[in-house]
Amino acid sequence: MKSNFSDLHYSEAGAEVLYSKEEIFKSQVLVKIAPPTSEEIDLMQADQILISPLQLPVLKDDYLEKLKKKKITALAMEYLQSEDGSYPIVRIMSEIAGMCSVLTAAEYLNNTREGGRGLLLGGVSGVPPAKIVILGAGVVAESAIKIAIGLGASIRVFDNDITKLMRLQNAVGRHLHTSSINPVYLAYQLTSADVVIGAIHSKSGRAPIIVTEEMVSKMKDGAVIIDVSIDQGGCFETSQMTTLDDPSFIKHGVIHYCVPNIASKVSRTASLAVSNIITPLLLKMGTSQNFDNILYENAGIRHGCYTYKGCITNEYLSRRFGMKYTSLDLLMTSKL
């Protein structure tokens, strides 16, 4: 998806514009908004640094094997932490994703040609508004709720962290219908939901499946599921990763929108937001004589590192693919 930045913009900022992928992949540090393909990893050089999303649903063991073989140090954008323990890229992308999820749901809900119910999200005088169920009480939920309230929708929020639910009500500034994730009550609410937004984030691995296929099968025909958690595998049992070229599918009569990195729908805004976070890291890398020093001094960057010079340093990935796990903290201690 084009972000409307021209080559001239980059060259005037001091960048060298290359037209050969082979030349680009000789760079010491590679920053990609999507994980490199298997063919692109073949073009990479030994001991390079890769910064990109991980996108667990499409991750295969040969991807990790190739990174190991070339001794690539790979950082997952979504697992980079700030000093306060938050995830800055996840947070800013979540803000965008929350807004996009409600606007996208509104588009599908009123579009009968795409299988929607022909409903206006906020309703009108004499016609009740659509009902939105949101799974997760994090940043995605907060942004989604603000848009949904502005459009006049009826909202239900589920999360097992009561503190998060309390914080969410304070942030929104009004009383919300909230609940812990009780499967029986959740299933009841889903039967009358017009839109369900899945926004469950895992700190280290796959997002948990909250909504079973049986629950989906009992939802209304033409209802809409927006699985923002698809980047981490999805929190609906019926979710399957889609693309912006073919973003949705229908299962059990329910429209599923499962595009990873939903923020890419607004590519220019997303690019600027990611740049605001990644650029300081790149500048720090540029002024350091040794990237290992940055890893050693910054626990948040270490948290995002999943391969380091031939080692798998993410415990979840090592278990998932049956590969040997090596603690990055121990590696840093032994090297410095």
Q: How confident is the prediction for the chain on average, in pLDDT? A: 90
What is d(CA 30, CA 46) in angstroms, rounded to the nearest whole number? 12
Assess whether pLDDT exceeds 60 at residue 336.
no
Assess whether pLDDT exceeds 60 at residue 20.
yes
Query: Partners of 73 in the beta sheet?
Result: 49
Burial of 209 (0-12, 13-18, 19+ CB in 10 A): middle
Least confident of 128-132, 223-227, 317-321: 317-321
Place of tokens 């073949």: 42
Confidence of residue 61 (pLDDT cuts 50, 70, 90): confident
Helix, strand, coil share of the chain (percent; to 5): 45, 15, 40
pLDDT, tens digit, for every residue of 279-334?
A: 888 887 776 667 888 888 888 999 999 999 999 999 989 998 999 999 998 888 76
DSSP states along 81-94: --TTS--HHHHHHH
Taking residues 183-202, report their average pLDDT: 95
- Provide the b/e sequence for 25-56 (b: ≥16 CB within 10 Å): beeeebbebebbeeebbeebeeebbbbbbbbb
In the chain the domains, ranked by start, together with CATH numbers, are: 7-79+288-335 (3.40.50.720), 99-265 (3.40.50.720)
Assess whether pLDDT exceeds 60 at residue 1.
no
pTM of the prediction? 0.80
Assess whether pLDDT exceeds 80 at residue 335.
no
Q: Please check whether residue 292 is in contact with residue 331, taking contact to mean a CB–CB distance below 8 angstroms.
A: no
Count of beta carbons in the 10 Å neighbourhood of residue 267: 17
